[in-house]
Amino acid sequence: MTDSSLSTRQKVERSLARRRATETRFHALGFMAVLFGLLSVVVLFGDILLKGSSTFRQTVIVTDIHLDAQFLGLTPRSKEAHIRRADFEGLIRQQLHAAMPTMTEDEARELHRLISIGAAWQLSDWVVENPQHLNQTIRFELLADHLVDQWFKHDRRKGISQRLSDVQLSWLHEWADSGQMYTRFNRLFFTHGDSQEPELAGVRGAMMGTFLTLMVTLVLSFPIGIATAIYLEQFAPARQWINLVEININNLAAVPSITFGLLGLAIFINLFGVTRSTPLIGGLVLTLMALPTIIISARAAIKSVPLSIQEAAYGLGASKVQVVFHHVLPLALPGMLTGTILAMAQALGATAPLLLIGMVAFVVDVPNAISDPSTVLPVQIFLWADSPERAFIERTSGAILVLLGFLISMNTLAVLLRQRIERRR
């Protein structure tokens, strides 16, 4: 405009340079955004992995144990209940004592503190399995206390110690140097429920709770959500109240999740008397939370089914239900599944609503049914993150890893399922 001596071509070229610069800038910005996102993920995962991976190793102290039948008051024919009542803790103390006969009583107490109380029942479990070894000497891996565990895994090489006395450290060094003390895979973490003792605390209870809760959620929310979506998209008359329903569903998707917890508390627990702290009530509340997401995505999936396909079926004399089940549903299923998995992933991480319906309870037993008291993984993480013990902090990261594992396997399953359905078409 300013310089009329320029030809059109020159003007175009000048604007071209500007356009190219904009494009390059936009490219760079986009790339940086992706890079930032990736970096955040790497840092997050790296940090959790670094902190959490040591959860999967547990320190044990291997020692010779003479299974003194007389001391335990057992015979090879003793009943299981009888064996479980025997004083294995006393036996372990006696044996450790025997190895160091010059100890004072104070020192003996300090020695016993290095061994977890779980060691005794692990030994009793072993004897229940192998009663024929009574009166024999066996090599047994005694579970170390969580302080020992933390020292051995983290502090030994750094030469520091927390809450361990000098005499305890001298024994620990001796065991570590002689190879009597080592770490092995922490099976307990995956087979146990929560515990006051960090070395005995596991995620099995929370995993089962999460699994059962999600099953209840899936079984309820998938059919209800899909049926609602189909009704709204295919059958509902274009009426005012249907619009109202639509607006409400869209709004529900944005309601803070804790509100659903309050609703569950008021309706399911107080009104209908569903037992609190169970996967059943958890599943009911999470169903409320998952439904809007499932309905919205399912409706979008149904909308994307070509009208021409539906018309073709109608033209051949298919009834409405036949059109829906023969054509609309199969074509919309992949999209519906994606939405459902998204909602399930959301439900998997939901903590706030579950706090309100009592799933925050300290539950030691692993739940086996939807009516057993239980907790779920995110709430377990929340509980452990609150404990002052170092070992629990470590377990927090461990539990997060398990949760992420859950999430990744669920998503993988969803992708595989989706691919299978799409390939069949």
Partner 1 sequence: MTILKNHDTKGVAFVDDAKLTARHVNVFYGDKQAIFDVSLDVGANEVIALIGPSGCGKSTFLRCLNRMNDTIDRCQVQGDILLDGEPIYDGSMDVVPLRARVGMVFQKPNPFPKSIYDNVAYGPRLHGLATTRVELDAIVEYSLQRAGLWNEVKDRLDAPGTGLSGGQQQRLCIARTIAVDPEVILMDEPCSALDPIATAKIEELIDELRENYTIAIVTHSMQQAARVSQRTAYFHMGQLVEVNPTEQMFTTPEHTLTEAYITGRFG
For partner 1, which is the closer residue by CB, 139 or 425?
A: 425
Asked if residue 280 lies in contact with residue 370, where contact means CB atoms within 8 angstroms, the answer is: yes
Beta-bridged to residue 58, according to DSSP, are 184
Whole-number minimum distance, CB 316 to partner 1, in Å?
4
From residue 330 to residue 349, the character string flagging contacts with partner 1 as x (rule: CB under 8 A) and all else as - is -x------------------
What is the token pair recorded at 95?
Answer: 């044996």
Asked if residue 156 lies in contact with residue 176, where contact means CB atoms within 8 angstroms, the answer is: yes
For partner 1, which is the closer residue by CB, 317 or 388?
A: 317
What is the token pair recorded at 171?
Answer: 């024994």
Could you list the beta-strand ranges (E) of 178-304: 181-185
Contacting partner 1 within 234-253 (CB under 8 A): 237-238
Tell me which of 108, 138, 300, 313 binds partner 1, using CB under 8 A: 313
For partner 1, which is the closer residue by CB, 136 or 322?
A: 322
Cα angle at 391 between 386 and 393, to 5 degrees? 40
What is the token pair recorded at 185?
Answer: 């895979």
For partner 1, which is the closer residue by CB, 40 or 319?
A: 319
What is the token pair recorded at 6?
Answer: 């320029």
What is the token pair recorded at 24?
Answer: 């390059």
3-state SS assignment for residue 350: coil
What is the token pair recorded at 219?
Answer: 């079984």
For partner 1, which is the closer residue by CB, 271 or 316?
A: 316
3-state SS assignment for residue 139: strand
Tell me which of 309, 342, 404, 417 binds partner 1, using CB under 8 A: 309
What is the token pair recorded at 21?
Answer: 């610069």
Between strands 137-143 and 57-66, the pairing is antiparallel
Dihedral angle over CA of 416, 420, 423, 425, nearest 10:
-140
For partner 1, which is the closer residue by CB, 188 or 333?
A: 333
> How many binding residues for partner 1 (CB under 8 A)?
20
For partner 1, which is the closer residue by CB, 257 or 310?
A: 310
For partner 1, which is the closer residue by CB, 101 or 237?
A: 237
The DSSP-derived string for 301-330 is HHHTS-HHHHHHHHHTT--HHHHIIIIIHH
Whole-number minimum distance, CB 418 to partner 1, in Å?
16
Asked if residue 302 lies in contact with residue 332, where contact means CB atoms within 8 angstroms, the answer is: yes
Tell me which of 55, 217, 310, 338 binds partner 1, using CB under 8 A: 310
What is the token pair recorded at 152?
Answer: 């051995």
Asked if residue 230 lies in contact with residue 419, where contact means CB atoms within 8 angstroms, the answer is: no
306 binds partner 1 (CB under 8 A): yes
Whole-number minimum distance, CB 243 to partner 1, in Å?
13
Whole-number minimum distance, CB 315 to partner 1, in Å?
4
Whole-number minimum distance, CB 388 to partner 1, in Å?
60
Whole-number minimum distance, CB 27 to partner 1, in Å?
37
Q: What is the largest CA-CA distance in the chain?
A: 113
Whole-number minimum distance, CB 320 to partner 1, in Å?
9
Asked if residue 410 lies in contact with residue 384, where contact means CB atoms within 8 angstroms, the answer is: no
Contact region with partner 1 (CB under 8 A), list: 15-23, 45-53, 270-278, 309-317: 309-317
Whole-number minimum distance, CB 244 to partner 1, in Å?
17
3-state SS assignment for residue 91: helix
Tell me which of 245, 318, 360, 407 binds partner 1, using CB under 8 A: 318
Whole-number minimum distance, CB 322 to partner 1, in Å?
7
Residues 299, 310: Cα–Cα separation, whole Å: 16
Beta-bridged to residue 63, according to DSSP, are 140
Contact region with partner 1 (CB under 8 A), list: 172-180, 284-292, 306-314, 404-412: 306-314
Tell me which of 13, 23, 311, 365 binds partner 1, using CB under 8 A: 311
Contacting partner 1 within 57-86 (CB under 8 A): none
From residue 200 to residue 229, the character string flagging contacts with partner 1 as x (rule: CB under 8 A) and all else as - is ------------------------------
Contact region with partner 1 (CB under 8 A), list: 21-29, 189-197, 204-212, 317-325: 317-325
Residues in contact with partner 1 by CB under 8 A are 237-238, 306, 308-319, 322, 326-327, 331, 425
